[in-house]
């Protein structure tokens, strides 16, 4: 749903409508208008005084205004007292019991709300607030037909009275009712009218009427139109910075994109204004569930329940939190979850909103099988819920049941074509219809038949033959059904990564190339990216998630399943992990078990993501080293039994979390001892670095880091000054020497820079940046012997950084030292596993020394980095032929020639392999093709003659 300039008409109960006539300003008392303006702009104390001064002249409007000033800060008791006192004096004023009905409904006092609403409607049948409360009372009692009729009343009222409406609040009640009627009656086109006409008309009546902006924002959020939602919330808060509901809506919007800090800030602001604001408590619980798990959400929701004991959106979340904390056993008597379910169903058998909230909370926590179950329950109990079919369809997509998802998503799109996630996911399903499928005993691989046929074939074979037995054997669990893998490439003007992202979440913002939802995995084709990646590493990582999630019934925390998946990959960790770990350890900002999930779900800066992976793997390494080789599987078993992390640690290792964390920190401290933290990283601002220098100008580390920041910013004079200060304090400080050398090189003093770096070098504890610059400058001076020594020092001290081994390989290649070249390339292929060149060169070196098994191993490894590399296929073909695996040789030569048809030697070798494989007809075809292209090709005619 987006804005448009043409008007849409809201005749849901009639066939035609007339354009709204121009409004004229109402002739309200100026003092009353001023009081309303103070209230609407958030000046609540001043507004209360203004309303009090009007109580004699405008007793009804003053009482309503005063009540609202008290309501918006959470003082409902005093608001009710003010309204009740006024009602006794003004028994014929319908607005007063209507206000009391609304407040009683908001705190779950439904019987009192009913009495007040009836009293108001006896006085004024057109009292909109009372009408809306009456409709809502039907809804929460399960009288859905009566509720629907009550919502329809507002549409009829609007169609008959629109030209005479001068109160923006009436338009608010009309809009809310019309939106509900449109949802329940599948009239999605009417939402455009609300945001383009009705609510803007309310603002024409009173430009300060911020609730109109809020209602538009909520409709945009509902349709995943975040840009327009932000615009409306900005407008609402510009009018009234004290609008707690608008801050809560902003929190909801931020949570949808996992901006946790912004979510928390908005929630805190909302609750500071109105501690009773129910929706803020609900979003606070949502944040807790998605970021930290269900246990922390329980007290938040129990508090919300005290504010309104009957609200189904609170109770549904509470049931989910109980289930997540205690185990999803709601079929058993006596559980906390079961008690809440029984309460909700007992009060309202058609409590679809309760089950939708329950499912939504489980969805947030990644408990997809249970989310699907309860979305289905919501759908059955309350078919009117327009969002549920789409939500259920999206969950079935994550569970890999695309056939079941398709029908639900089609239904959802017909109901609501403005839902962006549903629309995007339907486009994914349409794309998948044209995909090829490879079935193995344990996997189903879908792929684009054009660019990814080869990748899919190799991925399916690798998963079945090499990944499945290892991963299932390690964890002692086999998924009961085939695991679905889908490989996405560019199509229809959309990148493969965008298709991948839409497949996983319906929106284009996932920042990885692969993702797992427990029963299915989606990946972006490496053939669709500028820089290819090791697809074999990725699919093994993701299948580890498949196993761990299913064997723990989706209860394993994110950090632990990532730790296990990284360990299964079988490659060294990236060099950035060491730098970030050292930097954050020095700064005292490492994650702990309570915060590490945030690094995965919503990293705040460029350090958080690699640090989360690094620390997760190190937690697993610490467990294995400290508690034995079966330590990790014991933790998996504990999570499968629905224990939380403290409980899992206690059962698995007989240790409380605090001493475990203390032991882990000692493990980390030992690891980072002697590491150079290097630059301050992305989280350190220039202002913070300058402040550190002001606090202690003799601190070499602070001066060097500030110098580095100035260098990166291009401020060379400042960089020189602070580097010099650091070197005065510590003459061989590596970072300071590096910065000063860079400045000297920039000014043309290359020799001075070289001498500075040579003097600063400590071979036992070198600074990485300084050593790298020194080695390069030495090599540039053609001193290969000294450069080789320096690069060896770098390789020894920084074994996870590919550049040291790449430089060593270049030097050994030039010197002709094949043995040392192979050693450097082997390490390079491990630390930069995305690069096809090192394993391909290793395969060729093995062929040169006639080591066919090694050549085959490295050629296969090269294909993990680039399955479209023809040379690797050709080497694999040749080694297969030498090992008398002629069918495989034929397959590999055919593949190599499809990728590069300009290789006559491969074509002859293919023919020879066909002969050995008893594929004589194919051999003849190949030889004729070769001779047509090159009639005199050596050996081709002779071989063909032998086949006649």
SS (H, E, C) 710-776: HHHCCCHHHHHHHHHHHHHHCCCCHHHHHHHHHHHHHCCCHHHHHHHHHHHCCCCCCCHHHHHHHHH
Chain Cα centroid distance, residue 242:
30
4 has a pLDDT exceeding 50? no
Angle at 8 between CA 7 and CA 12, to 5 degrees: 150
- d(Cα 877, Cα 891) in Å, to the nearest integer? 8
Residue 119, token pair as written in the block: 């009293």
Angle at 610 between CA 649 and CA 761, to 5 degrees: 115
Evaluated on CA atoms 292, 298, 303, 306, the torsion sign reads: positive
Q: Per residue in 530-586, pLDDT tens?
A: 899 999 999 999 999 999 999 999 999 999 999 999 999 999 988 889 889 998 998
DSSP secondary structure letter of residue 466 = I
DSSP-based three-state secondary structure for 527: helix
Give me the pLDDT at residue 25, please: 35
**Are the CB atoms for 204 and 23 separated by under 8 Å?**
yes
**Are the CB atoms for 468 and 506 separated by under 8 Å?**
no
Burial class of residue 531 in the structure, from the number of CB atoms within 10 Å of its CB (0-12 exposed, 13-18 middle, 19+ buried): exposed
Q: Per residue in 655-709, pLDDT tens?
A: 999 999 999 999 999 999 877 666 555 556 888 888 888 999 899 989 999 999 9
Give me the pLDDT at residue 849, please: 93
- Mean local confidence (pLDDT), 151-164: 95
List of residues 6+ apart from 687 with CB closer than 8 A: none
Provide, rounded to the nearest whole percent, the portion of the chain with pLDDT above 90.
86
User: Directed axis angle between helix 368-381 and helix 352-364, to 10°?
Assistant: 160
Give me the pLDDT at residue 684, please: 65
In 3D space, the residue among 498, 500, 534 whose CA is nearest the CA of residue 515 turns out to be 500
3 has a pLDDT exceeding 60? no
Task: HSE, CB side, 13 Å, CA atoms: give it for residue 670.
Answer: 8
In 3D space, the residue among 874, 884, 876, 832 whose CA is nearest the CA of residue 854 turns out to be 876
Helix (H) or strand (E) holding 55: none
- d(Cα 518, Cα 586) in Å, to the nearest integer? 37
456 has a pLDDT exceeding 80? yes
Which residue bears the tokens 């220098």?
693
Burial class of residue 719 in the structure, from the number of CB atoms within 10 Å of its CB (0-12 exposed, 13-18 middle, 19+ buried): buried
117 has a pLDDT exceeding 90? yes
DSSP-based three-state secondary structure for 113: helix
Give me the pLDDT at residue 23, please: 34
Angle at 727 between CA 724 and CA 731, to 5 degrees: 150
18 has a pLDDT exceeding 60? no
Neighbours of 654 (CB within 10 A): 8
DSSP-based three-state secondary structure for 309: coil
Neighbours of 53 (CB within 10 A): 13
902 has a pLDDT exceeding 50? yes
Cα dihedral angle (66, 72, 78, 79), rounded to 10 degrees? Answer: 50
pLDDT band for position 20 (cuts 50, 70, 90): very low
- Based on its alpha-carbon atoms, the radius of gyration of the chain, rounded to whole angstroms, reads 34
Residue 872, token pair as written in the block: 């690797």
- Mean local confidence (pLDDT), 585-612: 90
Residue 216, token pair as written in the block: 């538009």
DSSP-based three-state secondary structure for 683: coil
Residue 169, token pair as written in the block: 């609040």
- d(Cα 300, Cα 446) in Å, to the nearest integer? 43
Give me the pLDDT at residue 508, please: 75
Provide, rounded to the nearest whole percent, the portion of the chain with pLDDT above 70.
95
- d(Cα 937, Cα 610) in Å, to the nearest integer? 54
Give me the pLDDT at residue 8, please: 35
Give me the pLDDT at residue 1, please: 60
- d(Cα 392, Cα 256) in Å, to the nearest integer? 17
903 has a pLDDT exceeding 50? yes
Give me the pLDDT at residue 692, please: 87
Neighbours of 166 (CB within 10 A): 15
DSSP-based three-state secondary structure for 708: helix
DSSP secondary structure letter of residue 494 = B
Burial class of residue 336 in the structure, from the number of CB atoms within 10 Å of its CB (0-12 exposed, 13-18 middle, 19+ buried): middle
Helix (H) or strand (E) holding 207: none
Q: Which is it for strands 483-488 and 443-447: parallel, antiparallel or unpaired? A: parallel
**Are the CB atoms for 591 and 612 separated by under 8 Å?**
yes
Domains in the chain with CATH codes: 434-549 (3.40.30.160), 558-672 (no CATH), 686-798 (1.25.40.10), 831-946 (1.25.40.10)
Strands (E), 489-574: 514-516, 520-524
Give me the pLDDT at residue 110, please: 98
- Backbone torsions φ then ψ of 661, nearest 5 degrees: -60, -40
pTM over 0.75: yes
In 3D space, the residue among 482, 481, 488 whose CA is nearest the CA of residue 503 turns out to be 488
- d(Cα 207, Cα 200) in Å, to the nearest integer? 9
Q: Per residue in 394-416, pLDDT tens?
A: 999 999 999 999 999 999 999 88
Q: Which residues of 734-761 are buried (b: 16+ CB within 10 A; e: fewer)?
A: bbbbbbbbbbbeeeeeeeebbebbeebb
472 has a pLDDT exceeding 80? yes
Give me the pLDDT at residue 19, please: 32
Q: Per residue in 235-260, pLDDT tens?
A: 999 999 999 999 999 999 999 988 88
- d(Cα 160, Cα 521) in Å, to the nearest integer? 55
Which residue bears the tokens 């449109």?
182
Give me the pLDDT at residue 931, please: 94
**What's the whole-number average pLDDT of the chain?**
93
- Mean local confidence (pLDDT), 140-147: 97
Q: Per residue in 423-454, pLDDT tens?
A: 999 999 999 999 999 999 999 999 999 889 99
- Mean local confidence (pLDDT), 884-892: 96
- d(Cα 297, Cα 287) in Å, to the nearest integer? 8
Give me the pLDDT at residue 597, please: 92
- d(Cα 630, Cα 521) in Å, to the nearest integer? 27
Give me the pLDDT at residue 330, please: 58
782 has a pLDDT exceeding 60? yes
Give me the pLDDT at residue 329, please: 67
- d(Cα 794, Cα 249) in Å, to the nearest integer? 52
Give me the pLDDT at residue 934, please: 94
- d(Cα 252, Cα 219) in Å, to the nearest integer? 13
**Least confident span in 28-37, 406-415, 852-861:** 28-37
Q: Per residue in 718-735, pLDDT tens?
A: 999 999 999 999 999 999
- d(Cα 342, Cα 165) in Å, to the nearest integer? 44
């Amino acid at each position: 749903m987006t804005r448009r300039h043409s008007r849409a008409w809201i005749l849901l109960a009639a066939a035609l409508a007339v354009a709204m006539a121009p409004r004229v300003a109402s002739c309200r008392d100026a003092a009353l208008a001023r009081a309303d303006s103070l209230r609407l702009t958030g000046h609540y104390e001043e507004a209360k005084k203004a309303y009090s001064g009007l109580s004699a002249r405008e007793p009804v409007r003053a009482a309503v205004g005063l009540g609202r000033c008290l309501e918006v800060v959470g003082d409902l008791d005093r608001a009710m007292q003010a309204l009740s006192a006024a009602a006794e004096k003004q028994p014929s004023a319908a607005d007063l019991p209507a206000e009391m009905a609304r407040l009683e409904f908001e705190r779950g006092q439904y019987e009192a709300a009913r009495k007040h609403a009836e009293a108001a409607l006896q006085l004024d049948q057109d009292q909109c607030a009372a009408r809306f409360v009456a409709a809502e009372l039907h809804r929460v009692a399960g009288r859905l037909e009566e509720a629907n009729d009550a919502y329809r009343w507002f549409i009829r009222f609007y169609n008959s009275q629109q030209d005479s409406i001068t109160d923006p609040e009436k338009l608010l009640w009309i809009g809310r009712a019309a939106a509900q009627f449109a949802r329940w009656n599948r009239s999605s086109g009417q939402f455009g009218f609300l945001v383009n006409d009705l609510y803007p008309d309310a603002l024409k009546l009173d430009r300060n009427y911020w609730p109109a902006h809020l209602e538009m924002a909520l409709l945009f959020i509902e349709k995943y139109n975040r840009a327009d939602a932000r615009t409306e919330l900005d407008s609402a808060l510009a009018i009234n910075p004290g609008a707690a509901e608008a801050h809560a809506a902003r929190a909801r919007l931020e949570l949808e994109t996992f901006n946790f800090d912004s979510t928390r800030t908005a929630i805190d602001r909302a609750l500071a204004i109105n501690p009773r604001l129910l929706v803020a408590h609900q979003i606070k619980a949502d944040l807790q569930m998605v970021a930290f798990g269900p246990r922390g959400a329980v007290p938040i929701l129990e508090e919300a329940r005290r504010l309104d004991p009957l609200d189904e959106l609170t109770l549904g979340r509470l049931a989910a939190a109980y289930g997540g904390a205690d185990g999803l056993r709601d079929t058993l008597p006596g559980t906390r979850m079961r008690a809440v379910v029984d309460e909700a169903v007992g009060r309202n058998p058609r409590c679809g909103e309760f089950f939708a909230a329950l499912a939504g909370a489980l969805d947030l926590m990644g408990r997809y099988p249970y989310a699907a179950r309860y979305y289905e329950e919501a759908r059955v109990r309350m078919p009117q819920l327009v969002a549920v079919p789409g939500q259920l369809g999206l969950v079935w997509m994550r569970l890999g049941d695309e056939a079941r998802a398709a029908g639900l998503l089609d239904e959802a799109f017909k109901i609501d074509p403005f839902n962006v996630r549903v629309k995007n996911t339907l486009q994914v399903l349409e794309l998948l219809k044209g995909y090829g499928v490879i079935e193995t005993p344990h996997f189903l691989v879908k792929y684009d038949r054009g660019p990814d046929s080869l990748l899919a074939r190799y991925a399916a074979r690798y998963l079945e033959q090499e990944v499945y037995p290892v991963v299932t054997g390690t964890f002692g669990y086999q998924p009961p059904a085939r695991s679905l893998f889908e490989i996405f490439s560019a199509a229809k003007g959309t990148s493969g990564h965008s298709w991948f992202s839409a497949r996983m979440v319906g929106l284009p913002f996932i920042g990885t190339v692969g993702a797992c939802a427990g029963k299915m995995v989606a990946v972006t084709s490496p053939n669709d990216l500028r820089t290819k990646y090791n697809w074999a590493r990725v699919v093994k990582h993701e299948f580890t998630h498949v196993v761990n999630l299913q064997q723990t019934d989706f209860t394993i925390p994110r950090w632990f399943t990532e730790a296990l998946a990284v360990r299964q990959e079988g490659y060294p960790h990236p060099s950035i992990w060491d730098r970030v770990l050292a930097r954050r350890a020095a700064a005292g900002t490492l994650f702990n078990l309570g915060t590490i999930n945030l690094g995965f779900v919503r990293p705040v800066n460029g350090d958080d993501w690699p640090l989360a992976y690094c620390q997760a793997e190190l937690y697993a390494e610490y467990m294995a080293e400290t508690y034995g080789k079966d330590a990790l599987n014991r933790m998996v078993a504990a999570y499968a039994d629905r224990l939380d992390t403290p409980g899992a640690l206690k059962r698995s290792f007989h240790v409380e979390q605090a001493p475990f964390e203390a032991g882990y920190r000692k493990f980390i401290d030992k690891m980072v001892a002697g590491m150079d933290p290097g630059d301050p990283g992305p989280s350190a601002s220039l202002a913070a670095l300058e402040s550190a220098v002001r606090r202690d100008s003799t601190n070499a580390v602070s001066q060097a880091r500030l110098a580095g920041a100035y260098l990166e910013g291009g401020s060379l004079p400042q960089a020189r000054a602070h580097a010099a200060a650091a070197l005065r304090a510590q003459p061989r400080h590596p970072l300071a020497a590096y910065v000063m050398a860079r400045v000297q090189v920039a000014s043309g003093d290359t020799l001075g820079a070289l001498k500075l770096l040579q003097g600063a070098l400590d071979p036992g504890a070198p600074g990485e940046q300084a050593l790298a610059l020194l080695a390069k400058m030495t090599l540039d001076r053609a001193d290969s012997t000294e450069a080789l020594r320096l690069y060896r020092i770098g390789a020894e001290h920084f074994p996870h950084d590919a550049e040291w081994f790449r430089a060593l390989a270049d030097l050994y290649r030039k010197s002709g030292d094949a043995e040392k070249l192979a050693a450097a390339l082997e390490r390079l292929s491990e630390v930069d596993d995305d690069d096809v060149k090192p394993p391909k060169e290793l395969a060729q070196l093995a062929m040169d020394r006639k080591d066919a098994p090694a050549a085959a191993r490295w050629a296969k490894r090269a294909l993990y980095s680039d399955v479209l590399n023809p040379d690797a296929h050709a080497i694999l073909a040749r080694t297969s032929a030498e090992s008398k695996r002629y069918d495989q040789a034929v397959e590999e030569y055919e593949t190599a020639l499809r990728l590069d048809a300009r290789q006559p030697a491969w074509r002859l070798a293919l023919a020879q392999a066909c002969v050995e494989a008893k594929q004589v007809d194919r051999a003849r075809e190949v030889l004729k093709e070769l001779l047509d292209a090159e009639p005199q090709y050596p050996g081709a005619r002779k071989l063909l003659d032998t086949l006649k």
